[in-house]
Structure 1
Amino acid sequence: MAMKIMRAEQFGITREVEYGSPEQNEAVREIVEAVRNEGDAALLRYTELHDKVSLDAASLRVGDAEIEAAYDRVEPEFVAAIREAAANIRSFHEKQKRTSWMDLQPDGSLLGQIVRPLRRVGVYVPGGKAAYPSSVLMNVIPAQVAGVPEIVMVTPPATGGTEGIDPYILVAAAEAGVREMYRVGGAQAVAALAYGTATIAPVDKICGPGNIYVALAKRAVFGVVDIDSIAGPSEIVVLADETADPVYVAADLLSQAEHDEMASAVLVTPSETLARAVADEVERQLQALPREPIARRSIDSYGAALLVDSLAEGIDVVNRMAPEHLEVLTADPLSLLARIENAGAIFLGPHSSEPVGDYFAGPNHILPTNGTARFSSPVTVDDFLKKSSLIYYSKEALLANGEKIMTLARREGLEGHARAIAVRLEREGAGGSGGAGR
């Protein structure tokens, strides 16, 4: 089946947020409750059942020798590239740092906000169809920049097949500065991070992608701990005019289509000539793509070239779609930027291919999906911070404003609130309407 070409108003992505089947939800509930109640025993039992790896509690933690050995199993070019990427990511996120602040009022009151890092964060790194060492950097480095003192990584025990954990994941984690790693995955790993076991101490937040069981487990433990999000399939929209190179456009669409069968890859253009050239080029490039079966199903189900009357209409379409990734391949992409309201990440110009952001430039590649870029943002340092309001009210301020505070409290029917102020006004000799004894 060729890539579909249609008018923009005819297109609709019907993917729904994945809530899992009743059977999947029940399986996750049982695993989470078992780990919560039994700790390591359940963790090891489910690891043997689902990952086919038999461990004991002492072997859950990845040792220093295994991490060092991983460096001998990866290419020096990979180590050099991951180090430079990590430096770029760190430099970008350093600019997001926040500080506490205090504001001294003329009446002697002190108001402010205290900004502190979370104490302990868990990062889930999946195995399965592919291992993603880049995601290790994108989760760990913002947490480090935020000042999180304890960062723990969990990953299935056979991400690298029969040889154990994928060495590229171990090297990426070591380069990012992770010192605590465990060979456990699935819903049982999420439960262990949330509730803790004798071996794995509980965390304050869990982040990182995973399969449906991981996603359902994160949803199940939310509230006991914070989570990053329940991410949907990858998305890319390319907004292009007749100046765009169809080879570039097709390659960038396929860069996301190869993620999984539910990924969405869409071209929005006023040029029918470009749309047809891109559709032909997608078919040509698909035939040589190693992950062709996955990418082809993605293009067949969720890919399209959407025709619009103008770039202005194209921007309206983009804003309604609110894509995870947006590439702007037009004659003057910067001139369109001010009108683009909804996108997780925006890539401008022919040299800003989406993989530049995935791996190396510095901005985070963990982005809102399923249209949630309308109201949410990429992962930032803020995701690993908590904030406390600070109020030091002076006697002068309380005497000046106490009656107003009591008025508002009584309007809400909360007399106890009003009396907490009234007793202070009486003690300070200011009276106070309807004092504490009413």
Structure 2
Amino acid sequence: MIQTIDLRGTRPTPASLLAAVPRALTDVATASDVAADLINDVRLRGEEALLDQAERLDHVRPAYVRVPLFHIEEALDGLDPSVRTAIEETIRRVRLASAAQVPAGVTTTISAGAVVTQRWQPVSRVGLYVPAGKAVYPSSVVMNVIPAQVAGVASLALASPAQSRFDGRVHPTILAVAGLLGIDEIYAMGGAGAIGALAYGVADIGLAPVQLVTGPGNVYVAAAKRLIRGQAGIDSEAGPTDILVIADDEADPLLVAADMVSQAEHDELAAAVLVTDSVSLARRVEARLTELAVSTTHSERVTIALGGTQSAIVLVDDLTVAAAFSNAFGPEHLEIQTQDPDAVLERIENAGAIFLGAHSPVSLGDYVAGSNHVLPTNGQSRFSSGLGAYTFLRPQQVVRYDRDALHAVAGHIVALAQAEALPAHGDAVTARFVDEA
């Protein structure tokens, strides 16, 4: 069912590891033309385009694109008490962890009268995207909203697709969680068109453009985020999920397989990878995967994901190579289930979130760990990070020099300006000391 990649007997180079990494046969670029058409349609026709796209892609024409308050109130009233309790605990934990992500401002005195202050300024308006395709993601509301609120973002707009089984409304659980968090600017719109609407605004529904768009989605959402970058910032091009487990012979094969299946149930393109130095464990995990794939609720989806080119059991000689392979893969979720997980952790450079030991499954991070589950996929953890309060903050340097401090470096500025053939730069400084000249 799942392929095996055997790297034993080799000391692979970083380049050969990258070549060995299993990936789905998809590319965000392939969805760009479709995404661009949807975005341009929204820019030209506004609300009517959003309604038409919902009817064609979500199979329902919502009565409202801008969600009325009574929809939120009704959703809150109907929220299952056990779900509400779980969401409130998730909110509490994510708020605690997010608060630790806000850097402190620092003031540095360079010399007498010369001060540079590093401050962190939140963007003022953010668009949050919450998908609702094969599953519903109220937890993603929490993961998007809480870090933005902690960072001090003043204006938040949330978009989620209209649901045909709820008569064109946004899924009621998503609405209810948004209501719990005090979000009342919500739009029933999904996919690439929603990303374009957030970035460029839609005047006829009162949607003002945002400065930053965050949140996961399918390949068309990822393509749209790539296209609007420059008009607005983005967190990352989050696409189908992935999990990589580094395990040795001490790991429980049932737990490893269960964690791989938990991510495979998201999407047929989800990646589930085990990297191990134990042939015995590999065989036992493969057997467990076969058992679980048949018995799990989303059996067909899981079977396709595990059998895809993006999933694999990778055999290596030792855990040093396992860590090197993981760094090349750049997992969204990395689990380390070994006898000494901290020793492996020391070799890890690239990962969206890391889960240590048998009792820290990815499912914990998806919900109530306190960490954020909006993470870079498709190897992007090699150069980017997951969502956090810092995503919504911009570092700004505030420079304050008095006359004496500027005078002390005036000669240096003039010398450098002349060296760069930009004499007016030097003149802007010497003009402040004309009386002395």
Would the TM-score normalized by the shorter structure come out above 0.5? yes
Are 2:215 and 2:238, in contact at CA under 8 Å, matched by a contact in 1?
no
State the one-letter code of the partner of 1:278. V
TM-superposed deviation, 1:66: 1.5
Counterpart selection for 1:387 from 387, 390, 395:
395
Alpha carbons of 1:367 and 1:412: their partners in 2 closer, same or farther (altered >3 Å)? same
What is the SS of the residue equivalent to 1:67? Answer: helix
Query: Is residue 39 from structure 1 mapped to residue 46 from structure 2 by the alignment?
Result: yes
Counterpart selection for 1:89 from 87, 94, 101:
94
1:50-199 mapped onto 2 (5 Å cutoff): 50-55=57-62, 59-158=64-163, 160-162=165-167, 164-198=169-203, 199=206
Percent identical across equivalent pairs? 41
Report the Cα distance in structure 1 between the residues aligned to 2:349 and 2:222, rounded to whole angstroms.
Answer: 28
State the one-letter code of the partner of 1:210. G
Query: Is residue 288 from structure 1 mapped to residue 286 from structure 2 by the alignment?
Result: no
Once the two structures are superposed, residues 142-165 of structure 1 have per-residue CA deviations (whole angstroms, 9 ceiling, x without a partner) of 000001111111111216554632
Report the Cα distance in structure 2 between the residues aligned to 1:334 and 1:72, rounded to whole angstroms.
Answer: 46
**Structure-1 residue corresponding to 2:330:** 322
**Structure-2 residue corresponding to 1:336:** 344
5+ residue gaps in structure 1?
432-438
What is the SS of the residue equivalent to 1:278? Answer: helix
**Structure-2 residue corresponding to 1:225:** 232
State the one-letter code of the partner of 1:288. S
Counterpart selection for 1:416 from 404, 408, 424:
424
Counterpart selection for 1:360 from 345, 352, 368:
368
Once the two structures are superposed, residues 293-352 of structure 1 have per-residue CA deviations (whole angstroms, 9 ceiling, x without a partner) of 121122112222222222222222222222111111112222332222222111111111
**Structure-1 residue corresponding to 2:22:** 13
Counterpart selection for 1:400 from 396, 400, 408:
408
Alpha carbons of 1:163 and 1:414: their partners in 2 closer, same or farther (altered >3 Å)? closer
Are 1:146 and 1:385, in contact at CA under 8 Å, matched by a contact in 2?
yes
Alpha carbons of 1:415 and 1:315: their partners in 2 closer, same or farther (altered >3 Å)? same
Number of equivalences: 425
**Structure-2 residue corresponding to 1:247:** 254
5+ residue gaps in structure 2?
none
Q: Which moved more, 1:40-49 or 1:113-122?
A: 40-49
Once the two structures are superposed, residues 125-152 of structure 1 have per-residue CA deviations (whole angstroms, 9 ceiling, x without a partner) of 1222111111111111100000111111
Report the Cα distance in structure 2 between the residues aligned to 1:80 and 1:197, rounded to whole angstroms.
Answer: 36
TM-superposed deviation, 1:187: 2.4
Alpha carbons of 1:48 and 1:163: their partners in 2 closer, same or farther (altered >3 Å)? closer
TM-superposed deviation, 1:389: 1.5
Max Rg structure: 1
Are 2:46 and 2:202, in contact at CA under 8 Å, matched by a contact in 1?
yes
Are 1:160 and 1:167, in contact at CA under 8 Å, matched by a contact in 2?
no
Are 2:218 and 2:239, in contact at CA under 8 Å, matched by a contact in 1?
no
State the one-letter code of the partner of 1:306. V
Are 1:327 and 1:349, in contact at CA under 8 Å, matched by a contact in 2?
yes
Q: Which moved more, 1:319-328 or 1:240-249?
A: 319-328
TM-superposed deviation, 1:52: 4.0
Report the Cα distance in structure 1 between the residues aligned to 2:381 and 2:32, rounded to whole angstroms.
Answer: 27
Alpha carbons of 1:7 and 1:107: their partners in 2 closer, same or farther (altered >3 Å)? closer
Instruction: Give the aligned CA root-mean-square deviation in angstroms.
Output: 2.2
Once the two structures are superposed, residues 5-59 of structure 1 have per-residue CA deviations (whole angstroms, 9 ceiling, x without a partner) of 63366943144662343xx534433332333244334333433443343356xx3
Q: Which moved more, 1:263-272 or 1:94-103?
A: 94-103
What is the SS of the residue equivalent to 1:214? Answer: helix
**Structure-2 residue corresponding to 1:259:** 266
Are 1:117 and 1:385, in contact at CA under 8 Å, matched by a contact in 2?
yes
State the one-letter code of the partner of 1:119. S
Report the Cα distance in structure 2 between the residues aligned to 1:337 and 1:2, rounded to whole angstroms.
Answer: 26
What is the SS of the residue equivalent to 2:163? Answer: coil
**Structure-2 residue corresponding to 1:436:** none
Are 1:3 and 1:282, in contact at CA under 8 Å, matched by a contact in 2?
no
Alpha carbons of 1:407 and 1:314: their partners in 2 closer, same or farther (altered >3 Å)? same
TM-superposed deviation, 1:104: 4.0
What is the SS of the residue equivalent to 1:391? Answer: strand
Are 1:146 and 1:382, in contact at CA under 8 Å, matched by a contact in 2?
yes
Query: Is residue 4 from structure 1 mapped to residue 4 from structure 2 by the alignment?
Result: yes
What is the SS of the residue equivalent to 1:239? Answer: strand
Q: Which moved more, 1:136-145 or 1:214-223?
A: 214-223
Q: TM-score, normalised by structure 2?
A: 0.91
1:304-319 mapped onto 2 (5 Å cutoff): 304-319=312-327
What is the SS of the residue equivalent to 2:28? Answer: coil
Q: Which moved more, 1:120-129 or 1:332-341?
A: 332-341
